[in-house]
Each structure stands twice: as structure tokens, then as C-alpha cells.
Amino acid sequence: IEYLNETVKPEEGVIPAYLLGDQTVYDLEHEKVFLKTWIFVGHESEVPHKGDFMTRELSGYSIIITRDNNDEIHAFYNMCTHRGMKLCRADKGNKSLFTCPYHGFSFKNTGDLVGVPLQKDTYGGKIDRSKMGLHQVRLESYKGLLFGTWNDHAEPLEDFLGDFRWYLDILVGRAEMEVVGAPQRFVVHSNWKVGSDNFVGDSYHTMVTHGSIAKLGMVPNATYSKRGFQIHTENGHGLNLGTPNPDFAFPEELKDEYKRNLSPDQYEVLSNLKNMIGNVFPNLSFLISHTKIKDHLISNTSIRMWRPIGLNKMEVIAWMFVEKNAPKEWKERSRDSFILTFSPSGIFEQDDTEVFTDITEAAQGAMPFQKKLTYNYTMGLHREPAEFVGPGVAYDDKFTEANQRNFYKYWMELMTK
Ligand code: FES
Ligand code: FE
């Protein structure tokens, strides 16, 4: 911690390379960040019906998320309270009773232990089932986004998201949204922070890393311009808004629904949106981007988690969202637009992960001077914030690294606590 305090200076734009390549930092992060803050685990639309369930990882530990018969959503540690067997080994399904594969204890989807095989014989009928329910995990929802935490003392989710909710409303609160299919999952040999850092504020790379896509005519060249805003709020959250956009890239039919769900200012931002890319601290990135499909500019909305599974390895889990009430054809085009751009076979994704992998590899060199190498995060340090209709600290174009500095500032706050 002392060494971190000496060497990491987010406000001055100094971030040492070892933050991406040192096992001690990684281990400390698990304890200080991933076991302390709210971590995204899924969307309510993934368990739409009574009895639906899914298993997810919350900071590396398996949890079961259920919707009970009263439509209430719960989260439990995926461990049988008898002898600790993993209770549920399926990714998802529908059932109201979970039976342990080891000795057959059964639990309702409310967590209550309701069945113990041969209990009269084996326990003389004396086992107190009321004390052996599944361990509840703290779970809260914002506009259908489900976050869990292992920290009983964590502030309420709404406070943790704070002002950033204004932007999440545009992302997933603008209309009734649903997740399309199961999330895509793939492994990238990268430290998780490279993903968050890229999405929280790095619009600067697009014209170079993704240059070939504009040359192919798949996105308008102007997509890569610096025009728009970079905004961050407290707790390390941040985003880039690309504006203006002469075309409304969302389903026209839903304009009334958008207006109902958003304030006039938020609606104005949505109507003018070219793209929106950001990150909820620590590792939940999101994106609205546009692609030309058969001469129509079609937006796609997705969120993605950079789930750490090692110092130099992360699982990318990507959820694609679509407006539930959008016309079927629009939904299909939007899905095509997503698959083509951000997915394991997507062109943007492949450009980015190539870079992520190489950065991570270079950060892990065993050179004696490795610890002294620093990255430069000084872009825009000379600039003053600008006026913007939404909350947070805004800059009136996207080419600054203020958001990355804000991300690491909060990261340091947690790491050195
Ligand atoms: Fe689950 Fe024994 S460990 S029933
Ligand atoms: Fe990129």
C-alpha cells in the first residue's frame, strides 16, 4: 500500500505499468475492490418467469439468482448448507426446487431448506431446517441491472451509482429493455483494467485501432471524431458521448416510450447520440454504437463485463440489449449490427483485444526496471471542465484522459483503504 501511494499519481497522469502485471496488486484488488464494491451479475429480463434461475459469478464465487413464485428475485451463495457441495451446476433453467447432488437436501428458490432425505431415521427428526437455508447474497437492481456485493456494509447501490444513473437511464432505462439470447462469453489474455480503461474514456484510439472499419465504409468516418463530451462522476464511473447525429438511430416507433421514460434533457441527448461508451466502476462497460446495415444506420446497445480470472486473463461476458417493443425486423438488424461489431467475431472486438493482450504482456516483463515504467495519462490535464446538461464533470470533446484519471483515483482510494 505504501508503494502504491508512492508510485501511483492519477491526478498527475502517472500510472505505473506494474498495476497491470503484478500478482500482489491483483490479489489485493480482489480483496479491496472486488469483495468491497457492487459487481454486475445480470439483468432481470434474463429470469423473466417465476421459477427461472441462472448461475453467475460474483467476484469469482458462484451464486444462484432465482425468481420465486411471488416474482421476487433472490441471490444465494451456490453452496449446499449441509456439506458444501455446489448446489446448482446449470447455467440457467426453470425450477422451484434445487436438490443437492451429494446427499439430496432440497432447497426452495426462496432459499429455504425443505427436504432432508430420511430425516426421521438419520437425525431423529431433530434437524432444524430453519437454520439451514441457503446463504443470501446482497443483490440490488437499478433499472433491471442486477448488482451483487459480498460487502454487508457497502452503500446502497443507488448511492454507489450516484449521478451516473442519469446516463444509465439513457442506456437501459429509456424503454423496456430485454437481453437478447444468452450472454456471449470468451476469454482474452488481458488484465481486466485494460478493458475498463479503454471503455471509460479512450475515444482517442478509435481512429487508429479501428481505422480499417471506416475505410471499408461500415461506419461513417465521423464516428471517430473527437466531437461530443467526456463525462465522469464520483466513484470512478465515466463515459464518452459522441454527438451530434443527424439520423435518429433508434426505432422511430418508440419515440413516445423514450419521452415517457426520460427527462427532456435526457431525450435530447438520446436523439443526438452518435455513440455512447462508458464504464461503471470497476468492470462493467457499456456501449451504444451504430453500424450501417443495408444502408440504414442501426444502433445496438450492449454491456460487457471484464471478469478477472487471473492477472493476465479475463472472461468477457457480453449482453446485447434491445427495446422490447421494437419491431421484429429492427431487433434483428440491431442484433446483426452487434454481432458484426462487438462479439468474438466482431471487427471492433478483434481490433481491441489484440491491443489489450499486447499491453498486458508488456506489463509483465521480468526486467529489473519494470516497476519504474509508467504510462502517460496526461491528456487534457490543461483543460477546464465545460457546461453540460447532465451531471458530473464534463469536457466538451472526447479526447482527454480525465475519465481514466478519475477511474484510477477511485481505484487507489479503495486499494489504499
Ligand atoms: Fe448437499 Fe450433503 S452436501 S446434501
Ligand atoms: Fe476500441
CA of 103 to the centre of ligand 1 (A): 5
50 lines ligand 1 (CB under 6 A): no
Pick from 201, 242, 206: nearest CA to 341: 206
CA distances to 19, 155, 184, 349 from 345, rounded to whole Å, are 29, 38, 11, 7
CA of 338 to the centre of ligand 2 (A): 14
83 lines ligand 1 (CB under 6 A): yes
State the angle between helix axes of 347-363 and 328-341 in degrees (0 to 180), rounded to the nearest 10. 30
What per-residue confidence (pLDDT) applies to 212?
A: 87
Nearest CA to ligand 1 atom 3: 83
Asked whether the beta carbons of 86 and 94 are under 8 A apart, the reply is no
CA of 362 to the centre of ligand 2 (A): 19
Pocket test for ligand 1, best of 64, 77, 78, 83 (most atoms within 8 A of CB): 83
C-alpha cell at 188: 482474452
Q: What digits encode the pLDDT tens for the residues 301-356? A: 999 999 999 999 999 999 999 999 999 999 999 999 899 888 888 888 889 999 99
Ligand nearest to the CA of 84: 1
CA distance 4 to 13: 14
Task: Spell 192-202 as b/e; 16+ CB within 10 A means b.
Answer: bbbbbbbbbbb
CA angle 380-402-13, nearest 5°? Answer: 75
State ipTM. 0.97
Q: Is 368 helix (H, G, I), strand (E, B) or coil?
A: coil
296 lines ligand 1 (CB under 6 A): no
102 lines ligand 1 (CB under 6 A): yes
CA distances to 86, 95, 350 from 90, rounded to whole Å, are 10, 11, 29
Nearest CA to ligand 1 atom 2: 103
Q: What is the DSSP string of 330-354?
A: HHHHHHHHHHHHSSTT-HHHHHHHH
Pocket test for ligand 1, best of 82, 86, 123, 134 (most atoms within 8 A of CB): 82
List phi, psi (to 5°) of 266.
-65, -40
CA distance 176 to 66: 21
Ligand 1 atom nearest residue 100's Cα? 1
Pocket test for ligand 1, best of 64, 79, 80 (most atoms within 8 A of CB): 80
Ligand nearest to the CA of 341: 2
Beta strands in 113-164 (DSSP E): 113-115, 138-142, 145-149
Q: Is 199 helix (H, G, I), strand (E, B) or coil?
A: helix
What per-residue confidence (pLDDT) applies to 247?
A: 82
Asked whether the beta carbons of 68 and 78 are under 8 A apart, the reply is no
Ligand nearest to the CA of 207: 2
Beta strands in 204-358 (DSSP E): 227-232, 238-242, 275-280, 284-293, 296-310, 313-323
Ligand nearest to the CA of 83: 1
Asked whether the beta carbons of 41 and 56 are under 8 A apart, the reply is yes
What per-residue confidence (pLDDT) applies to 103?
A: 98
Q: Which CATH superfamily is domain 40-149 in?
A: Rieske [2Fe-2S] iron-sulphur domain (2.102.10.10)
CA of 171 to the centre of ligand 2 (A): 19
Domain range summary for the chain, segments of one domain joined by + = 40-149, 163-415
Ligand 1 atom nearest residue 101's Cα? 1
Instruction: Calculate the dihedral angle through the C-alpha atoms of 192, 341, 404, 139, rounding to the nearest 10 degrees.
Output: -60
C-alpha cell at 316: 468477457
**Spans in the chain with pLDDT lower than 50:** none
Domain 163-415, CATH 3.90.380.10 — does that match?
yes
88 lines ligand 1 (CB under 6 A): no
CA of 108 to the centre of ligand 1 (A): 15
Asked whether the beta carbons of 380 and 400 are under 8 A apart, the reply is yes
CA of 206 to the centre of ligand 2 (A): 6
